[in-house]
């Protein structure tokens, strides 16, 4: 029996994040309530901290990429090369709304990401 409450489902845990190097981003899939497709976010390490960006680009729906961050700081959407700051989701040097961000807490090599909460960039 699944004893998780609805609020438990709003937090996902990603182990092994201590192996995510500075200036890198990794794609994370997570289940959503109901039968829809999984959610996607990009977990980024900047300045030694973890940040989570929704992978859906707010420009025209491209997919923000995992891999090395540009300049070690910015996540990039490969469709039109827009850059986003993982710390707050803001677009860099272009007129565009922010990418969705999620609160992250890192404890003991595991990231706890509150996918039910949204910081800025709510769409
Ligand atoms: S769709 Fe992402 S930059 Fe255009």
Give tens-digit pLDDT for 104-120.
999 999 999 999 844 43
Lining ligand 1 with CB less than 6 A are 57, 59-62, 77, 79-80, 82
Residue 60 counted as domain residue: yes
Residue 14 counted as domain residue: no
Q: 69: closest CA among 20, 101, 99, 25?
A: 25
Residue 8 counted as domain residue: no
Residue 81 counted as domain residue: yes
What's the whole-model pTM score? 0.86
pLDDT, tens digit, 9 for 90 and up, residues 24-50: 999 999 988 778 889 999 999 999 999
pLDDT, tens digit, 9 for 90 and up, residues 49-102: 999 999 999 999 999 999 999 999 999 999 999 999 999 999 999 999 999 999
Domain total in the chain: 1
Residue 72 counted as domain residue: yes
For the domain that residue 60 is a member of, what is the CATH number? 2.102.10.10
Q: Note the pLDDT of residue 54.
A: 97
Residue 77 counted as domain residue: yes
Residue 1 counted as domain residue: no
Residue 119 counted as domain residue: no
Cα-to-centroid distance, 62 and ligand 1 (Å): 5
């Amino acid at each position: 029996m699944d004893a998780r409450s609805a609020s438990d489902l709003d937090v996902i845990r990603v182990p092994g994040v201590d192996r995510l190097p500075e200036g890198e981003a990794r794609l994370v899939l997570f289940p959503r309530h109901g039968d829809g497709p999984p959610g996607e976010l990009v977990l980024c390490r900047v300045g030694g901290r973890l940040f989570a960006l929704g992978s859906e680009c707010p420009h025209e729906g491209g997919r923000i990429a995992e891999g090395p961050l540009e300049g070690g700081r910015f996540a990039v959407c490969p469709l039109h090369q827009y850059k986003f700051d993982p710390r707050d989701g803001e677009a860099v040097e272009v007129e565009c709304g922010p990418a969705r961000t999620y609160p992250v807490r890192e404890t003991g090599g595991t990231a706890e990401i509150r996918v039910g909460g949204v910081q800025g960039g709510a769409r």
